[in-house]
Amino acid sequence: MTSKFIDPTIQPVDAIAEGAPVPSERLTVDALRQRFAFPPGWQPEVREEKKFVDRNWQSAAVLVPLVDRPEGISLLLTQRSFRLKDHPGQISFPGGRVDEEDDTHIETALREAKEEIGIERSCIEILGLMPEYRTGSGFKVIPVVSIVHPPFDICLNRQEVEDAFELPFSFFMNGTNYQVRSAEFPNALGRRSFYTIPCNGRFVWGATAAMLRNLYHFIRA
């Protein structure tokens, strides 16, 4: 779903999602390493959106950057540039299409993070991959979950990124902080429901919220 079609923030809340908070002892760097090294049995809640473009699926990857802060892990997110054709102004993970020279989705995620927000690979520890998520805009996205170790510098590519910021990761690991909203989309796209997560004046929704919801289930399982 792209924010150029509709403003999701003005849609009424249909429901508050369910799910107990993940215990704090699971939200440490060591615990997350263990979780990805020895994954539990679990199932993603959301795998795809109804496609609204007429094109072949394009492979993509995003980096899910969890920053190791003394006060607790934070989630690094970006706001996409309003100049972009796909998802302008929407909050997202750094990432993009898989290029021919990318050997793996991890390579794509690392390259895009460097290009978009300037984070060096030497600061990034890869934890593992989440299941593929298919967006309405025609992308098959692999989330690459990582730990980002400070210090690091943020250098925004203003052609692609409007802003980069951190939010408490624990907020996204509480199932009741997720809302379900619905909207009637123009251009004969019909009515659709999607997850939203308001946090500290920011509004995460659509594919990013759905992938975070899956990560929540994975860590809670």
- Tell me the pTM: 0.94
What range does the domain containing 132 cover? 26-172+205-220
Residue 87 lies in a domain: yes
Residue 192 lies in a domain: no
Per-residue pLDDT tens over the stretch 87-146: 678 899 999 999 999 999 999 999 999 999 999 999 999 999 999 999 988 999 999 999
CATH classification of the domain holding 47: 3.90.79.10
Q: Which of 215, 216, 217, 209 is nearest to 181 (CA)?
A: 209
Residue 14 lies in a domain: no
pLDDT value, residue 178: 98
Dihedrals phi, psi of 216, to nearest 5 degrees: -55, -50
pLDDT value, residue 210: 98
Residue 189 lies in a domain: no
* Region at 190 (left for phi over 0; alpha for psi -120 to 50; beta for the rest): left
Report the distance separating Cα 141 and Cα 134, nearest Å. Answer: 6
Q: Are the C-beta atoms of 91 and 164 separated by less than 8 Å?
A: no
Q: Please count the structural domains in the chain.
A: 1
pLDDT value, residue 2: 41
Report the distance separating Cα 128 and Cα 86, nearest Å. Answer: 26
Residue 74 lies in a domain: yes
| Residues of the chain below pLDDT 50 | 1-4
Strand-pair partners of 16: 179
